[in-house]
Amino acid sequence: MGRILGTKTTKDNKIIFEVEIDYEESLKLKGHIKNIHLFSEDAANIKSNLSQRGSKEATKYFLIPRELRENLKFDEEVKCQKIETDTRTLFIFVVNKVKI
């Protein structure tokens, strides 16, 4: 888990963040320095549920809340990443939008 140490606004209205993260978390980037997204667990305010189906409840589902389903393409491959911390497990799903 990390924290923002400082911010600076540039002339072209971009924000430069100085970020501090644990070494182990930095390794999870696997050397990638583009397409980085910052988010805070505290900003997650829409509730959802996990669901289990099938024989011995072997299949697990993350339910997407109705208010988040707009413009999602459900019939193609989705990327997923699992991030473990001391107290939480974060699942990040990357889903293509429907082209309008």
**Residue from 22, 13, 17 nearest 4 by CA:** 17
pTM to 2 decimals?
0.74
User: What tens digit of pLDDT does each residue of 26-64 get?
Assistant: 888 899 989 888 888 888 899 999 999 999 999 999 999
pLDDT in the model for residue 86: 83
- Asked whether residue 100 carries a pLDDT value surpassing 80, the answer given is no
The percent of residues above 70 in pLDDT, for the chain, comes to 99
pLDDT in the model for residue 58: 93
CA 36 to chain centre: 10
Measure the CA–CA gap between 82 and 94, rounded to whole angstroms.
12
pLDDT in the model for residue 53: 93
